Structures are given as C-alpha cells and as structure tokens.
Structure 1
Amino acid sequence: MPNPNSSPPPRVLRVAVPTPLRRLFDYRPGRDTPPCGWQPGIRVHIPFGRRQVVGVVVACADRSELPLEQLKPVTRCLDSEPLPEDWLWLCSFTARYYQHSLGDTLHQALPVLLRQGRPLAGRVRERWQALAKPDEDDPRLKRAPRQAELLAMLRQHPHGLPTQAVLAQGYSREQLLALVEKRLVERSETPLAAAEPAAEKLLAEPALPLNREQAEALGVLHERLDAFHPCLLHGVTGSGKTEVYLQLIEAVVAKGRQALLLVPEIGLTPQTLARFRSRFRVPVVALHSGLTDNERLDAWEAVASGRAPIVIGTRSAIFTPLARPGAIIVDEEHDGSFKQHEGLRYHARDLAVVRAQHHGIPLLLGSATPSLESLYHAGRGNYRHLRLTRRASRHAPARLELLDLRGRPRQGGLIPPAIEAIRETLEAGHQVLVFINRRGFAPTLACHACGWLADCDSCDARMTLHRQPPMLACHHCDKRRPVPDACPSCGSADLRPLGSGTERTEETLGALFPKVAVHRIDRDSTRRKDALEQTLAQVRRGEPCLLVGTQMLAKGHHLPHVTLVVVVNADAGLYASDFRALEHSAQLLVQVAGRAGRAAHPGRVLVQTLHTDDPHLRLLAEHGYDALAEQLLAERRAAALPPYRFFALLRLESPREETASALGREAATMLRGWMHEHAPDVNCLGPVPAPMERRQNRYHVQLLLSGSRRSQLHAACARLTAWLERSPEARRVRWSLDVDPQALG
C-alpha cells in the first residue's frame, strides 16, 4: 500500500534507450509502479518504434517538451529495486567522457540476460532435507509409498540433497513438494555463485614472506586503505607483484570490503583464479567473455549483493557494481587489451582510476613495463611510484642479445646461431620459447615466376597462408579461400610462401628436433575451451620442450622451466606508422623476455633483427625499458604527443571513398570555424585516409583532434557529434569517435 506521505508519482520518466542517439526519451509511467517508487536505475519495458526494448530510467520529471498525452506509457516495470547507484554513476561518466550514447553505454555495461529483461537474481541450488522420522503408521504416508521411500532416502543424507540428485533417483518434484507440505521435508535455496559464507579464518594457506621492496610497497598501500591512493607498482618480471596484490586484498577483505582485480586476457584468468582460490577461504568469482550468459549473471549478482568479496575479471569487469568497494587493482596496466576498440571505446584502466577516486579507495596499477601515460603521472606525483627491482628467483632479468639477420640463411625464420642455442638448451634439459607474433604458416603466398602476391579482395592487405587446414585467410576481414594450384596471373605452378608464421616455425622445429615435443600457442591452436590451460599444464611438468607462440605467451604466464627465449623477428612492430608502435613493441619484447629464467636457472634472450644498429633497440637491449621509456617521453613532449597532449579520432567509413572523404572535409570545415571562437587550443588535422584505407570493402577516412586541455577537446567533440547526428550526409556513412585512441589505424 503506497505511503500517503510520500511525494506524488512523477508524470514523466526520462529513459535511456539502447540506441546510438545521444539523448533520453520521455515516457509516462505505466499501470504498475515499482515497490520502491519510480527512481533512477529502474529497468523498464518500453515501446520504441515498432519493437519493445529494455530501457533504464535515468530521471523523473513533471514536464516534457511534448504534451503528456502524446507520450507512450511504460509497458512494464522490471525491477523492484533500482540498479546500484555507483554503477549508474560510472556508466553516466563513461558516456559523457567517451562521447557515447548513455542508453547504449548502460546496455553494454549490463549482463546479456539483464539487457533482455531477466530479473536481477542469480540462479539458486535447491536443497531438500528430512526434518523428522515419521511413525511407521503415519497416516500422511500410508497411501504414498513412493513419498515414504523418498523420505527414507533423504534421511540417509543429513545435510540434504540437491534437486538434480533426487530426480536422478527417479523421484519427482511433486513428491518433494508434497513432503514439504506435510512438514516432513524442508526446502532451502543457496546461490550458485559465491554461495559459501565468509570464513572466520580468511586464509586457506599462509602468505609468502616478502622481501624488503615488497614489504615497503605493501606498507605504503596499508597507510591509506580508506582513501583514494593511486600507486604504480613498477616491478621487473618475476619480482612478486602478484604476492603484493594478494596481501593487499587480504587487508581489504579483512575490513569487510571487496576487491576488484582486472587482468588483460581471458587466458590469464584460470591461473590467476586458481592462485587466489587456493589462498583465500572466501568466494572468488570471475567475470570474462568465456562465461555463459547465466554464469555471468550469477557472478554479477553475487558481487552486487556483496556475497563475493574478491572479483577477478577482464576489461568489461570494470562495470561490475561493488556493494562494499575496498580496492581496485589493474594487472599489466600497460596492456592494449584494456582498451575497447569497437562500439563503446572505453579504456578499463582509465575508468579504474576514475572509479577508485569516486569511491575513495586505493588503486594499484601493476606492470613490468608501465605505459608512458602511467610513468608520466608517476613523474608528476599524481601516482605514488613503487618499485620492485629484484626477482624472486634471485637471477637478474635476462638482457636482450641482438642477432643480425642480414645475409644469413634461415630455417623457419631462425638463423644458425639461434638454432644452435636452442639445441644446447634442450640438451641441458630445459625448455625454449620461440616467439613469433604472426600466426599461420607464412605472411603470404607469392609466384616466383611473375611476382604475383595473394592479396585480399576486400582489404589493402595480403592473405596469410595456413597449412592447418590449408587455406589463404585475411586476418582483417576473416575472408578465406582455397590455396591455388597455379598462379592466377601467369599460370606458373611455382608458388612459394614468403616469410614465417607460427605454423612454419613449428614445422621447422619439429623437423630439426624430432624427439622433442613442440607446442604451438596462438589464436588458431587455442580455440577449443581450456586448450591453452591444458597445454601450459603439460609444459609446467618440466620435460624439455619447445613452445612456439604469439603474444598470448608474453602476458603474465609463469613458465619456470623456460631458460631461453628466441624472438624470430623484432622488426615487425618497431617500424609501424603509429607513434605508439615503438612503446608497444618494447613492452612486448621485455614481457616475452621475462618468461626466461624465472626459477632455478638464469635466462637468455636472443632477438633476431635486421637493424642491430637501431638506437632505440640498442638502448632497450643495453639499458632496459626504463631508459627507453624516459627517452620516448622526451620525444613525445617535443612532438606534442600524448601524454602531453590529448587526442580524439573521428573515423568515417563508406563503400564509396568520396562519400567518406566529402563528409570528413565538411566536418573539418565546420569544426575549424567553431573552434576559432570557442576552442582555440584544439587543432583539427585531416581528413586523411586511414593507414589501411580499404578494409572489408569499405573505405576508411579519419580526422584527428588534439588539444592541451581536456575541457576544450571535449567541447569540440560534443560539437562534432551533435553536428554529425543532424547531418543528412552522415546517415550514409558509418562513423565513430574515439576519445584517447590507443592506435591511429
């Protein structure tokens, strides 16, 4: 019954609808009213055009720009309580900062089942337990022999049985409910996710002893557990950053709060989960793209309700509501996987900073190769800079040894000195990691007679040759076609693979070392669920073997028996057109080098390159990542590039090149005229063709905005998006705005 003293219900509900339009839509309340009253965060079923969609109430009002009688009523209210307030705040901030539709932002931040209108409730496990032993002549069971048998079976299990176990014995749910009605059986429900209560004893196994640097870093974090305290944990590979995370989380959970740990890749989640679950007695839940829709909703609800004190997830887990936020940790904070490159183009690391500040809780960013943005903030004092310089193995991180590729014969991309080093390492009983960041057998197929190359028909790219199964595949548009028997241009049968990919290197190593197991780890070989974890489990047994892989192997995996790393070609990423290419390539080289020598034996890293005299590469090899990062920051400052300036990138694409270019020119003209008066600090560059102009049979054009003040840049972005939404020409072009882009391609 409504409270007579409560305020009158609103006449207008402002609803965020999952649409690209950057506006709210007004509706009248429907017949049903949520028990908590209308307020922001309530999900509703609403008519939108010719379909019914799920929207989220963002505001309540008494007036609308349209007459009230013209507003459509809400079809149905979906929630008895609003979605968490902090979640709504984060989504609203994200939509504003990344210049995205609020309705689409809310839609993307919700689990799929909540987008479809399911109640915010995780699945439960029913349990049935016998309450009392009935008399042999109990009249309630005289005419129900099967119920009597069922009751006798339940009495053999003092802690009860789940529904599935009872049904498997041939009994029915109706028989169970009949016994409940007779007060002979009790029915209980426990959530499937994080069902265990918080344990009195928090740790299942003792924490590891810390060295002096780890203890000092943890001491700094403990100083301010109740305040926003951003820290950069800058530790060499194998220095024990994860143990610092574990002990920080222990302190947070001991105070009755929750901790969120973000990891860059789904491949890291199983090993991280296993380590955390073996350490803690309290529930640890995972959130990543490998979960089913039901599993994701179960985990989301367990965290939102506060039953799960520890949350480990990939990028999208930043949108998980925390009932009692206590700390946020971002592992491998430099990793590009934290940036979403389609749709809502957010960066989970940057949102972690904003969210920790909003909650007033500690933030820990960890990496052996921090991003230049994080080093910039640490240098300015915005982040506390904590360093770990010693490895747990007591061996110093392996230095990069540069091997000159020029004029040397190659087998599967490997030159003789690298092959000999591999042979010596295997004979010593150790393991070798061969890193080649290109999957497939070869980058392309060529005709030796006329020079024909296997180009993609839809992209400005070559098709990659695969042997397992045999095909040509474009890794940009996923187009595939059979390997030709003869050259399509001249008819010659002399077709040869150019360059090496993981498949070719795997084949070569298998022929060179036939008695040694070769494990290939790339996106193609790990498509099957748990394939990566099963392969790594075999590797961790310690027998001599060869690992051939892409950057999937460079991220956080502990491979204690690997003592040699060979980088087949370091030049692929060093000389790309993007200004971040050198930073990202250096991070990748250092991360993959960090897989060597993590246990009892020292490691060695061989880097094959055509440019042994490159000054940046030599600086990295001789003085390490920190020295290179310092030089790159100086170069960025001189060139007015991020982090010293802020970027936003407008991308336009169309089947017709002139259509995208014309809209880009029109947008640039409008924007330059507006910026002259309102945002003189912002520059507009372009339009220019994208580095890969044609992709998926569409032409790509881009416009770059840059400014030294975020406020002016965001004002220009808001002006640009508003103009594009009104422009008739923009309806013929697919466009997107990327604030703080991580790649200009």
Structure 2
Amino acid sequence: MTFAVDEAMRPGLRTGMRVMVQLGARKFYAGIVSRLHDEPPAYKTIKPIVRIVDEREAATPEQLRLWEWISSYYMCPPGMVMRAALPAKLKLDGYSEDETLRSGYRAPLVPYIGLHPAVGSEEQLHVALDSLSRARTQHRAVVEYLARAGFLPGEEDDSRSPEASPAAQYPAGDLPDGEIPVGTPGKGGFAFGEAPLVPRAALGVSSAVIRALVERGIFRQVDLERQPGGEDSFAVEGAVIAPLPVLTDSQQQAYEAIRSGFAGKEVVLLHGVTGSGKTEIYIHLMAERLAAGGNVLYMLPEIALTAQLIERMRGYFGDRVVVYHSRLSDNRRAEVYRELLASQGGRLVVGVRSSVLLPLPHLSLVVVDEEHENSFKQADSAPRYQARDTAVVLAGLCGAKTLLGSATPSMESYYNALCGKYVLVALTERYSGVSLPQVLLSDTLRAARRGEKRSHFNKLLLDRIEEALVRGRQVMLFQNRRGFSPFVECGNCGWTASCPDCNVTLTYHKSDGSLRCHYCGYHTPLPPRCPSCGADDLQPRGFGTEKIEEALAEIFPDAVIDRLDADTSRTAHGYRRIISAFERGQTDILIGTQMITKGFDFGNVSLVGILNADNLLNYPDFRAGERAFQLMMQVGGRAGRRSEQGTVVIQTGQPSHPVLAQVCSGDYEAMARMQLAERQSFLYPPYCRLISLTLRHRDRTLLWEAANRFGDSLRRVFGRRLLGPEAPPVDRIRGQYLVRFLLKIEKQSSAAEAKRLLAGLFDTLHRDKAYRAVELIPDVDPQ
C-alpha cells in the first residue's frame, strides 16, 4: 500500500524503517517502508504515515531485496513475508498510538554500578575502603569497579575469574596511595564527580554483595536499557576460545577443495558420509570468516539438533554464537533481531529455517547442514519458502558463499553439482578410519512364517539387541510414527475412531488414554465401549513409538528404555533430559521418530534398528525412494561412530527392493542415478519445476464446482502440464475440504510467466461471487 509522507517527516524517513499507519477507522499498525517514490496510486484517498517508530532501519537493504524475491518466487504477498521475518514483538498493532507502541519490544534492563555521590573524593574513598577491611568480597568488588572504571593504572582484563581480574593487582589493604586521581581526569578521562557506570556483571560478584555496598552508601545502581551492539550485548572479544579441532588428512583435503571451489563458484556441495567429520570442516571455515570480521549463518534442519551443536560451537567461539529458533521467547527473538541488525560482523548465527530471514549485515558465509532435509521447507503457512534455496539467494545478494552439507544430498543439489552449477566435494572416509556400519536385512514375512517373530521384532533384531546390551553397548530403534498405535478398531463391527474435523483416523496414546489427531490437535478419551455397536472389543492396530517402548520393556525388563518423539520432548527440558541421559550412558535403548535420525554423535551406540522400512518405501510420492534411502542412511549412521564397526538391522517385507540394496552397500551414486533416470522419464524435479495448487473451502460441492471450472481454464493455457483436480489422501483438515492440482513447468520455460498466468486465472475465478470464498494455496517447489 502507498501512504503519504508529511514534508516535516521526509528528511528522517528511509527505506527499511518502521512506521505507524492507521487502517480502517480505529486500528493502528506498524509496517516497514519498502520504497519512497512520487508516483500517485490509482486510488484517490491516500492516508498519511502517522509517525516514524524507530530512529534507525528495522530491515537491511539485503533483507528487503530477499523479501521481494520470496514474494515473487513463492507467490506470496510481501506483507506476509514481512510478518514471517519479523519477530512478534516488532509487529505492532493497537487501537491508539500509545497502545500500539506498548505492544512492542522493550529492551531488557541492564544493571550498572557507579560510585555513590557521597564518595566524592579520594579521602572519602579510602575511608569507605577501610570500612570494608573485614568484608573482603565487598572490598574486592569496589577495587574491581575502580579498575574497570579507569581509576587504577594497568591493563584491563575481561576475564571474570578473581585471579585474572584487575582487582587481583590490589588485594585488601594494599591499595596504593596517590594512584587515585581527585578532581583531574583519570585514565578514562573523567573526575570523581563524574564516575562512570560499569555493568554489574563485570564485577564478578553476587547481587547480595552489590546490594550491601548500595546500602552502605558506597555504590549506586542504575538500570539502563540494553542497546543493540553496545558493550553489554553479545561479547565479541577473541575469534576462537578453544583450539580448533585438528583435521585428518581427508578432512584437510576436503577443506582445501572447498576453499578452492569458493574461488570459482558461489556454492559448494559437501557430500560426506555419516561420521566423516563434516562439522570440523565447518568450524574451520567459520573461524576463518569470523576472524575476517564477517557474519556467518549456520542453518540446521531442526531445533532438536541445536542443543549439542550450540554447546560445541560456544566452546570454540564463545559469546559470538547467537541462537535463533521458535522456542525462544518473543522478547528474546526480538532482542536477537535487533542485536544482529546493529552488528558490525563477527557473529555466528545458529538457527533453523526462519534464521534465513534475519538481518545479517556483513554476511560472509552460509552453511546449510543436512541440506536434503525437507524440514527446511515451510509447508504449513505462507510464505512457503525452501530455506536452503532461500539461503543460496541470500548469500548471492550479500556477496557471501554457501556451503551445503549432507551425507545424502537432495537430488536437486546433486544435479546442480553434476551440471557444474555447484562445486562437488566428496568426503568418503569416516573420522578416525572407522568403517561404515554393517547393514542387515530382516525379512518380516519369513520371520512370521518360521515363528521367529515376537511382538514387533524379528529374532535377528532381538538377538542383536541382547548381544549389544550384554557388551554394555547402547541401542537406537527407529519407528517413524509416534503414539501407541495409528488407529483403534472395533473387533466386532469394524468401527474406527476418526477426527471430526479431518478425514483421518485418531492415533491412540496409551500414556494418557487419549485419541489424538496429528493434523489439527483434536483429542478425546478412548471410549470404554464401541460407540457404534456397544461391544467391549476396541483393539489398537499397528504400532508407534509408545507401543514399541512397552513391548521392549517386557522383553528386556532389566534394560533402561526411553523414547524421543514429539510427545516426550514438548519442552526443552524434556528433550535435554532424554538426550543427556542417553549421552551419559544411563539409557540402554532409545526409541524415536525422525528426531533421532540425524545430527547426534553418541560414541557407545553399536546397534540401530529400523522397524518398518516398508512404510518409507511405499509412500505415494515420487521422492519416496530418495527419502527412504536418506532416512535409513542417516539413522544407520548413528551406529559405530568411534572405535568399532556398528550394525544396522532393517526389518522389511520387501528385502529385494532396489533401494534397500543401495542402503546395504551405501551406494548413494547408484541411488541417485536410478532416481534421476526415473524423474527424467516422467518429468519430475530436477528436470522441471513444480507448483502445487490447493483449493480450500468448507462446502465440498461448491469446492469441486470451483475446482472443475478453474481446472478447465488452467488446462486451456497449460495443457498436459497440468495434473488434477484430485482429492489428496487427507482431503479434509480443520473442517475444510481440499482439492489439488499439480503444474509441471519445463526448465526452459519461464516460471515467472507461468505464475503470472496462474494468478490471473484465479482472479478471474474469484470475480464470480459464488466462488469468492474459495481459497487458493500455491506452493512453489512442493516437498
């Protein structure tokens, strides 16, 4: 939208600034200025900007250009891109100017310490210090303040330990006479009456000690707002704290190949097998860029992976590490955003998908770890961006380099490397020369025929679990479904519990006796009898992680068993407890969903079990083979990462499946050749672009009428490139029915022109009042 700028406001207004505007009769909002111009809009009434919210920009020029690209490429209004990028506390709204401003971010208050006005001379200071002769901690705090404030000679040291602090030069009773200037500028250029403020945290004593000195009339405390980029914000002293990890010969070769690749290309793809030590290479590249004063973005696919990585990164880079993800509080997210906006470089931002939307001035390097992960794709709400691809665009806008890393690269990235768009660097050896795990296939049908199946486990897997436990080793079991069982069925009439708002069965969670919908969150207690026929014969069907945990506890009663899934890790504390216990060896068997498949480095895991590989292989999607291979290789890579070769047991009813043969041999290239050949034959990515179009409405009949009419107009333009309309597997979610189309666009055709035509055809449909409430959800490059 276009707003009028008052002449008095014009000199201080710049693109990227937040301004307050009034929409409607009462509501006020804050938005960001994307462009200043003199072109009158088509509408006559132009509302004025009410006020400028901040003195400085709230978005960098690179951010604004990235938002514009996301809006255009992913077919999303620019306002929705801005709302996704800005933390909640920076998106203001209210029914008055004051209410709107109060709804926003408030900087944390930082306590500062200064000398009390009563201590106005050297004599008064010595009297105060003499009074503390028996309170050694308080005495040290005063001397620490004097040293950090510049009253005492000598170099300052930012270490917080008492032995290394400035006060260590002046122990109690040993303050030299004549060293404290009175009424004349000291080292800091001030006099006693202008004693500066020092952050309370810099004194290295408890708040009780400070409170006692305030009560004695020696100190005064002032709480000030933390300023972005100020001395009280993220520390930046020293590029590296701990010595960088020593690279093996193969890692060193890969590191040099990446640096050489960056000399000629903007993007490098690092294909390193699981356990090869890709992270050590990342650390060296990050240290190099940070030392040069640049910012680095390190993207991970899931929040669950950040805890171990953050601890490790802070060991090398200290307070240069900045963390950003959705589990931070709203105020903390806004604080990180403002800090980065004011950054002069030297920050390592560790984050998930949304971190690519942060302000990153002086960006020098982007590292996307596990780049193949589909969790980098925002699928639930607009903008439906692919963070990996967006990171490549961001790096290009900032003149930075991008490193994509994976043990099982996506077909799109691998194809780009084969075509020469990216540089491909291979790391084929595991760290310390440990062999890749041995992969064994266990035929579930054969085991059932021979009576070698107990509960959900084949004899081969149970024997290997017992062997590992006897040897004091740990076991990880992967089941890609949480809950106790996928559905509950009546053994008498066949009734199944379904969600009232979604066309999907409810998952049974035995821990709280509930039936839950994993799409909309609906839940209800398990009924004691069948609601249809009244029979007392409700049976759980299938199995999830909860049922696996119960069955294993019966088979191995002496083993300590835990599970990691969305139910047990709803809080950061719950997640850390589970991971820490397994890392310390307190847990023998860890059962989990995809959360356990990547990123973790547990040295005592000798066995990994994959319980139902057929669910992965038989998923109705052209990416099923690729994803099954990636998932099985990733979870299998958790085994045997130290001194001995690990074992992976895969339970399947299709032991002759070609993807399983590729997993057994660890042959990524064979899998890639097969998948790329199939996709070229049937015209799927990376040989074309896909746009998924979903129509949504509560009235099923009206929706299908609109879909057929829209489909006819699309087919007249796009012909056989269009697939659909069709109902998706789950065709009703949260009370709304869904109909989908899939549009294929050849690489040589203009995707931008196709999007323009799509938007125009849907606008034509919307002009019909009957279909005005039908919603279109475009998803470019669906995953």
Band of TM-score, shorter chain: 0.7 to 0.9
CA distance in 2, matches of 1:190, 1:675: 54
- 1:41 counterpart letter in structure 2: G
User: Is the CA contact (8 Å cut-off) linking 2:515 and 2:525 kept in structure 1?
Assistant: yes
Residue 690 of structure 1: SS of its match in structure 2? Answer: coil
By how many angstroms is 1:32 displaced? 5.8
Aligned to 2:283: 246
Q: Does 1:78 align with 2:36?
A: no
Residue 700 of structure 1: SS of its match in structure 2? Answer: strand
Q: Does 1:741 align with 2:771?
A: no
Aligned to 2:458: 415
CA distance in 2, matches of 1:362, 1:303: 19
By how many angstroms is 1:404 displaced? 0.7
CA distance in 2, matches of 1:174, 1:650: 68
CA distance in 2, matches of 1:136, 1:209: 53
- 1:416 counterpart letter in structure 2: K
Aligned to 2:762: 724
Gap regions ≥5 residues in structure 2: 93-100, 129-134, 149-197
By how many angstroms is 1:115 displaced? 1.4
Closer/same/farther in 2, CA of residues 661 and 188 from structure 1, 3 Å limit: closer
Instruction: From 142, 156, 162, give the equivalent of 1:155.
Output: 142
Residue 457 of structure 2: SS of its match in structure 1? Answer: coil
Aligned to 1:505: 548
**Structure 1 residues 210-289: aligned runs within 5 Å:** 210-223=247-260, 229-281=266-318, 283-289=320-326
Q: Does 1:97 align with 2:78?
A: no
- 1:71 counterpart letter in structure 2: I
CA distance in 2, matches of 1:193, 1:623: 51
CA distance in 1, matches of 2:718, 2:86: 36
TM-score by length of 2: 0.83
CA distance in 2, matches of 1:417, 1:211: 36
Q: Does 1:458 align with 2:458?
A: no
By how many angstroms is 1:258 displaced? 1.0
User: Is the CA contact (8 Å cut-off) linking 2:20 and 2:50 kept in structure 1?
Assistant: yes
By how many angstroms is 1:373 displaced? 0.4
CA distance in 2, matches of 1:188, 1:339: 37
By how many angstroms is 1:31 displaced? 7.4
Aligned to 1:629: 672
CA distance in 1, matches of 2:277, 2:749: 39
By how many angstroms is 1:131 displaced? 8.1
Closer/same/farther in 2, CA of residues 222 and 623 from structure 1, 3 Å limit: closer
C-alpha distance after superposition, 1:666-725 (max 9, x if no partner)? 22233333457xxxxx82222111222222222110111111137533322222224434
**What's the % identity of the aligned pairs?**
32
Aligned to 1:5: none
Closer/same/farther in 2, CA of residues 52 and 189 from structure 1, 3 Å limit: closer
CA distance in 2, matches of 1:195, 1:623: 47
By how many angstroms is 1:61 displaced? 2.2
C-alpha distance after superposition, 1:164-208 (max 9, x if no partner)? 97699769999999969xxxx9989676998354334x2212122
Closer/same/farther in 2, CA of residues 193 and 729 from structure 1, 3 Å limit: farther
User: Is the CA contact (8 Å cut-off) linking 1:443 and 1:463 kept in structure 2?
Assistant: yes
By how many angstroms is 1:506 displaced? 0.5
C-alpha distance after superposition, 1:254-303 (max 9, x if no partner)? 11111110000001111111111101245110010011112112212222
C-alpha distance after superposition, 1:27-66 (max 9, x if no partner)? 11147626x6333212211112242122222222223135
Residue 104 of structure 1: SS of its match in structure 2? Answer: helix
Aligned to 1:45: 20
Aligned to 1:368: 407
- 2:350 counterpart letter in structure 1: I
Aligned to 2:751: 713
Closer/same/farther in 2, CA of residues 95 and 155 from structure 1, 3 Å limit: same
- 1:507 counterpart letter in structure 2: E
Closer/same/farther in 2, CA of residues 446 and 708 from structure 1, 3 Å limit: same
Q: How many residues align?
A: 699
By how many angstroms is 1:627 displaced? 1.5
Gap regions ≥5 residues in structure 1: 1-24, 143-148, 677-681
User: Is the CA contact (8 Å cut-off) linking 1:30 and 1:75 kept in structure 2?
Assistant: no
TM-score by length of 1: 0.87
Closer/same/farther in 2, CA of residues 41 and 172 from structure 1, 3 Å limit: farther
**Structure 1 residues 118-517: aligned runs within 5 Å:** 123=108, 125-130=110-115, 133-135=119-121, 155=142, 158=145, 159=148, 160=198, 162=200, 195-200=233-238, 202-223=239-260, 229-281=266-318, 283-306=320-343, 309-341=347-379, 342-406=381-445, 408=448, 410-517=453-560
User: Is the CA contact (8 Å cut-off) linking 1:206 and 1:279 kept in structure 2?
Assistant: yes
CA distance in 2, matches of 1:461, 1:186: 54
User: Is the CA contact (8 Å cut-off) linking 2:265 and 2:422 kept in structure 1?
Assistant: no
CA distance in 1, matches of 2:216, 2:688: 70
RMSD (Å) for aligned C-alpha atoms: 3.2
User: Is the CA contact (8 Å cut-off) linking 1:440 and 1:467 kept in structure 2?
Assistant: yes
User: Is the CA contact (8 Å cut-off) linking 2:696 and 2:736 kept in structure 1?
Assistant: yes
CA distance in 2, matches of 1:422, 1:560: 17
**Structure 1 residues 3-82: aligned runs within 5 Å:** 25-30=1-6, 33=9, 37-50=12-25, 51-66=27-42, 70-82=45-57
Greater shift in the superposed pair: 218-227 or 556-565 = 218-227
User: Is the CA contact (8 Å cut-off) linking 2:369 and 2:406 kept in structure 1?
Assistant: yes
Aligned to 2:631: 588
Instruction: From 624, 640, 644, give the equivalent of 2:687.
Output: 644
CA distance in 2, matches of 1:634, 1:545: 43
